[in-house]
A and B are shown apart, each in its own frame.
Chain A
């Protein structure tokens, strides 16, 4: 049984005192920042990234993963208690979760979210352990042409995820590609777009871009809708779900887990799509669909399970193929590269301790979330009630320190300010930052793989279509593009993103 051995190795890594500690800190910090309204997982990870620089790769990734699902869980807490979802994936939770809270059932809603997340997390950990090796085995047959096509697929998938028009998702992708070109060309050592500046010759660090766009740019946008919000001052009692609740949530949790796991693996999938899909499914098969939106516990259990399952399985394409399926994974790839680990199919064979340790830590982290969050809910309520005008200068400070720490250079801070302005303006013009960030990270790799595959084929671009795996990947990408253009799918997408 390979799987048992792998998981045993993973747990031996993840259960070391040091890694347990980092997992705990990650989960705790992730939740603490994730509960703050307006701060989703991307901003949380980008802000906390510098703390992980000095750690060994395993610990750093374990901590970052902990921050990710901690932030996600924190977002759900906020969605339930104040109806202010910090990120798309908890929009759905706020529909019924907040209604439950208003009926005095906040404790049970929070517990349902925690239990659903934990159950989904456990199941998807097993799924990853089963399927990741198969995917990695396929990926080992990949040549440069396959990699190039795979990245095209990843970028196209990010278009499907983007809420705006196809044209602008494409435009933002090419802006990202252009930004990714800044720096010295690896093949010819020619400096490109550096304006003779030595600081730009190594290229722009992705943390600088991410913090500018998601930190500064987002804060300015949030300041526009700064309204007085009243945190729930009610006492939270009755944490345990009743026997009746248990009966009602088991089905949604199982269905949500399966749905979420599948959607998470698809490039361009991830937590937001998973939770929306699960909510629609539960509402469709419910005997009492009229209760949805008025505090149906199924409407919390299903989407919360689905988004956690999706969050976990979205690590699979990242770890086995080196392809990020959403912007959180794009940040993870950046973090891995900084740690000197090239994400891709070889990670599993060359660094089994890192790979399986990370997988095992996800299960442990979810257990911590379950144990930690229910008793700490009072603290989270306090954090939610900090007014935004106290909060955002603190966020700015953390972002700035984080950016400085990457290269110890103030040049990067100036750049971050510029990208902040750019990100804000693009946001105002409906240009979405996520595809841009993805393209920025993938761009340099794509150029390299394209060069290599065309060098091998002596300049014949048909090589991308004559190799079967590459052709299939491109066909899937083309299929996705066509899907986005179909009026039917377009409509569902509009509904799915309406509440963002």
Chain B
């Protein structure tokens, strides 16, 4: 396999298709297929999975045949920080509550930007954001998120 292959977008997206199709087919082994006239739960998943594996192979062929677009560098820092901040919110919400979870998420995701610097203005903006969201979503719309989580409630 040439390096050109490994740099090709077609090759990598083909891997995604094939992996998704193979996983879909492997898991769907347990579902009964039935017949076309009386389809079981496994019929449609099998069709979709095989189609995906086919598209995976077709992408590999395309990668080998055409000089397609090359893979660009991933913004790994941005990806980890932004997606991570979302996961951190989900983790912190029941434990620490809405206020600390939002603060952690906003600061963590903001760090993904090269231009972000901590200062008085960003902290004030963060406080305003938390107050605004709490007012609209928790008090106004009644979304059941605890303001402060179980960590901060005294044990009786």
A461 vs B39: C-alpha distance when bound (angstroms): 12
Query: B59 touches which one: A167, A393, A417 (CB < 8 A)?
Result: A167
State whether A392 and B141 are in contact (beta carbons under 8 Å apart), knowing that A400-B105, A447-B44 are contacts in the complex.
no
B residues less than 8 Å from A224 (CB atoms): 75, 78
Query: B143 touches which one: A393, A408, A413 (CB < 8 A)?
Result: A408
B residues less than 8 Å from A413 (CB atoms): 86-87, 89-90, 93
State whether A193 and B24 are in contact (beta carbons under 8 Å apart), knowing that A223-B78, A388-B113, A429-B16 are contacts in the complex.
yes
A51 vs B143: C-alpha distance when bound (angstroms): 10
Contact B20 A178 (CB under 8 A): yes
A409 vs B140: C-alpha distance when bound (angstroms): 19
Which secondary structure dominates chain A's binding surface? helix
Residue of B nearest to A394 (CB): B129
Contact B13 A430 (CB under 8 A): yes
Stretch of A295-303, A451-459, A484-492 at the chain-chain interface: A451-459
Contact A223 B112 (CB under 8 A): yes
Judge whether A405 is part of the interface by a CB distance below 8 angstroms. yes
A residues less than 8 Å from B155 (CB atoms): none
Question: A428-444 vs B: 1/0 string, CB under 8 Å?
Answer: 11110000000000000
Judge whether B82 is part of the interface by a CB distance below 8 angstroms. yes
CB distance from A184 to the nearest CB of B (A): 9
Judge whether A371 is part of the interface by a CB distance below 8 angstroms. no
A residues less than 8 Å from B96 (CB atoms): none
Question: A16-58 vs B: 1/0 string, CB under 8 Å?
Answer: 0000000000000000000000000000000000110010000
Judge whether A103 is part of the interface by a CB distance below 8 angstroms. no
Judge whether B31 is part of the interface by a CB distance below 8 angstroms. yes
Contact A451 B39 (CB under 8 A): yes
Contact A390 B122 (CB under 8 A): yes
A residues less than 8 Å from B110 (CB atoms): 389, 392-393
Stretch of A116-124, A347-355, A419-427 at the chain-chain interface: A419-427
B residues less than 8 Å from A181 (CB atoms): 24, 44-45, 48
A residues less than 8 Å from B39 (CB atoms): 187, 450-451, 454-455
Query: B83 touches which one: A193, A401, A420 (CB < 8 A)?
Result: A420
Contact A461 B36 (CB under 8 A): yes
Within 8 A of B (CB), among A186-239: 187-188, 190, 192-193, 216, 219-221, 223-224, 226
Judge whether B120 is part of the interface by a CB distance below 8 angstroms. no
Which secondary structure dominates chain B's binding surface? helix
CB distance from A183 to the nearest CB of B (A): 11
Interface-centre pick from A190, A220, A424, A451 (highest chain B CB count, 10 A): A220
Contact A454 B36 (CB under 8 A): yes
Contact B133 A397 (CB under 8 A): yes
Contact A455 B58 (CB under 8 A): no
B residues less than 8 Å from A187 (CB atoms): 39, 41
Contact B36 A216 (CB under 8 A): no
Contact A416 B141 (CB under 8 A): no
Residue of A nearest to B55 (CB): A171
A165 vs B9: C-alpha distance when bound (angstroms): 12
A298 vs B17: C-alpha distance when bound (angstroms): 45
Contact B51 A174 (CB under 8 A): yes
A residues less than 8 Å from B116 (CB atoms): 389
A–B pairs, 29, beta carbons within 8 Å: A50-B143, A51-B141, A165-B62, A167-B59, A171-B13, A174-B21, A175-B16, A175-B20, A178-B20, A178-B52, A219-B78, A220-B78, A223-B113, A387-B115, A400-B89, A401-B133, A404-B145, A410-B90, A416-B86, A420-B86, A421-B79, A425-B74, A428-B71, A428-B72, A428-B74, A430-B69, A431-B16, A455-B39, A459-B36
Chain B residues within 8 Å of A, Cβ to Cβ: 9, 12-13, 16-17, 20-21, 24, 27-28, 31, 35-41, 44-45, 48-49, 51-52, 55-56, 58-59, 62, 69, 71-72, 74-75, 78-79, 82-87, 89-91, 93-94, 102, 105-107, 109-110, 112-116, 122, 125, 129, 133, 137, 141, 143-145
Which 6 pairs from chain A and chain B are nearest by CB?
A: A459-B37, A413-B90, A389-B113, A459-B36, A185-B41, A429-B13
Chain A residues within 8 Å of B, Cβ to Cβ: 50-51, 54, 165, 167-168, 170-171, 174-175, 177-178, 181, 185, 187-188, 190, 192-193, 216, 219-221, 223-224, 226, 387-390, 392-394, 396-401, 404-405, 408, 410-411, 413-414, 416-418, 420-421, 424-426, 428-431, 447, 450-451, 454-455, 457-461
A167-B59, A451-B39, A458-B37 are known; give 15 further A-B pairs, CB within 8 A: A50-B143, A171-B52, A171-B56, A175-B17, A216-B82, A216-B86, A220-B82, A223-B112, A388-B115, A389-B113, A393-B110, A405-B143, A430-B13, A455-B39, A457-B37
